[in-house]
Amino acid sequence: MVYVLGIESTAHTFGVGIIDSKFNILSDARSVLRPSGTLGIDPGEAAEHHSRVAVNVLLEALDKANLKLKDIDIVAFSKGPGLGPALRIGATLARGLAFKYNKPIYPVHHGLGHIELTVHLTNMKDPLVLLVSGGHTAILAFNEGRWRIYGETLDITVGNLFDSFARRLGIGFPGGPVIERMALKGKRYIELPYNVKGNNVVFSGLLTHATDLVDKYNKYDLAYSLQETAFSMLVEVTERALIQTDKKEICIAGGVASNNRLFNMIKTMAEDHGVKVGRLEGDLRRLNGDNGVQIALLGLLYYEAGTPATDLDKTFVYQRIRVDEEDVPWRM
Ligand SMILES: Nc1ncnc2c1ncn2[C@@H]1O[C@H](COP(=O)(O)OP(=O)(O)O)[C@@H](O)[C@H]1O
Ligand SMILES: [Mg+2]
């Protein structure tokens, strides 16, 4: 049996996941930063948090998996996209382990981890993927060796939209789950800017407008209206990409995939086209958010596809790197 250890540190979460070569999830240890300021996640604060918790999260993951460091066969870490200082904590730990125990190391793309983990665990073959989180908002399909982007946000992500609006209401990170609960109490739709350009969405005008209305309207109605508007935009562009790509499955991945309203809206649209919709639910729901398991899975997939491990002096981090820059050899 081959054991793979994955380290996640792109933003708020420091996570270590361990899987085996049959893709049994042996452990999923995490510590999530609750940002102290009013401006969102400060990169220095995230790095400080990660360096403080890293060893304990690593030991917790090994303990739960009932393994020792020397038992690990492959090390993978999130190379980006993310906050530079936070990424470097994960990368440094991964390099240290790979060096000391002389193991192959794979730097992997965080967003690709969300995609592949969700596609694998929902048993989908060739889906259209709606990747929605604080770091990503994109519609993707696999085509000629890579996950290609068929639509995306032109400014902020849908996760940012909710987190920023929530901050204006004095709600801490993550704001998305709180907005979802508040929206259930909303009764009246308040007209907000709806901004779709081709297959792409634009959220900053919606954020500004909703934020300006905070003192004028009922906050539950606003949360409801914000969600309805943002998700209607996502449904429209997902439907267009679905027709263009002619896929028979849709998979929703990333932190915002936990949102039931989004899932039901996509499902209603998909049913019109006879298309199946999947996301991680039940016990697997926690894997929608950032975790080390998605990183370990990519390590395993590269390894099994015969991709050579990366030389230690080339294990760089990338604050900005798009999913469509990554070759996906296991799907070729
Ligand atoms: N139920 C929910 N409804 C809407 N947004 C949610 C929900 N749960 C989590 N989110 C959002 O998901 C984002 C976190 O996604 P995650 O993949 O963990 O992190 P990252 O975006 O850094 O990769 C946050 O913006 C959070 O508000
Ligand atoms: Mg993420």
Measured between alpha carbons, how far is 34 from 172 in angstroms, rounded to an integer? 8
Number of separate domains in the chain: 2
pLDDT tens for each residue of 234-285: 999 999 999 999 999 999 999 999 999 999 999 999 999 999 999 999 999 9
Measured between alpha carbons, how far is 57 from 59 in angstroms, rounded to an integer? 5
48 and 105 fall within a common domain: yes
User: Domain for residue 265, yes or no?
Assistant: yes
| DSSP per-residue codes, 213-270 | TTTTS-HHHHHHHHHHHHHHHHHHHHHHHHHHHT-SEEEEESGGGG-HHHHHHHHHHH
247 and 326 fall within a common domain: no
Query: Do the Cβ atoms of 89 and 73 come closer than 8 Å?
Result: no
Measured between alpha carbons, how far is 228 from 219 in angstroms, rounded to an integer? 14
The string over 267-291, giving b where at least 16 C-beta atoms fall within 10 Å of a residue's C-beta and e elsewhere, is bebbeeeebebbbbeeeeeebbbbb
Measured between alpha carbons, how far is 290 from 33 in angstroms, rounded to an integer? 12
Give pLDDT, residue 36.
75
User: Domain for residue 119, yes or no?
Assistant: no
Tell me the residue range of the domain where 251 lies: 126-279
299 and 251 fall within a common domain: no
Angle of CA points 22, 27, 30, to nearest 5° = 140
| Confidence tier at 293 by pLDDT (50, 70, 90) | very high
User: How distant, in Å, are the alpha carbons of 99, 114, 115, 159, 332 from that of 255?
Assistant: 32, 9, 11, 8, 27
pLDDT averaged over the chain?
A: 97
What residue type is assigned to position 152 of the chain? E
67 and 176 fall within a common domain: no
Instruction: Note the pTM of the prediction, 2 decimals.
Output: 0.98
Ligand with the closest atom to the CA of 134: 1
Give pLDDT, residue 144.
96
- Give the nearest ligand 1 atom to 12 CA: 22
User: Domain for residue 120, yes or no?
Assistant: no
156 and 267 fall within a common domain: yes
Does position 38 have pLDDT exceeding 80, yes or no? no
- Give the nearest ligand 1 atom to 260 CA: 1
150 and 210 fall within a common domain: yes
User: Token match 């969700």: residue?
Assistant: 118
66 and 192 fall within a common domain: no
Angle of CA points 48, 49, 54, to nearest 5° = 105
11 and 86 fall within a common domain: yes
Query: Do the Cβ atoms of 27 and 15 come closer than 8 Å?
Result: no
Which of these three, 240, 256, 279, is where a domain ends? 279
Give pLDDT, residue 245.
98
Does position 40 have pLDDT exceeding 80, yes or no? no
Helix intervals (H) in the chain: 43-65, 84-101, 110-121, 158-168, 176-183, 204-212, 219-245, 260-272, 292-304
Give pLDDT, residue 284.
98
Residues having CB closer than 6 A to ligand 1 are 10-12, 133-135, 159, 162-163, 174-177, 180, 254-256, 258-259, 289-290
168 and 274 fall within a common domain: yes
φ, ψ of residue 61 to 5 degrees: the values are -65, -45
Alpha carbon 251 to chain centroid, angstroms: 13
DSSP 41: -
User: Domain for residue 153, yes or no?
Assistant: yes
Pocket residue to mutate for ligand 1, from 28, 256, 281, most atoms within 8 A of Cβ: 256
178 and 239 fall within a common domain: yes
| Confidence tier at 225 by pLDDT (50, 70, 90) | very high
- Ligand 1 centroid to Cα of residue 159, in Å, is 5
144 and 106 fall within a common domain: no
Residue 304 tokens, joined = 């099994």
Give pLDDT, residue 35.
82
Mean of pLDDT values over 150-166:
97
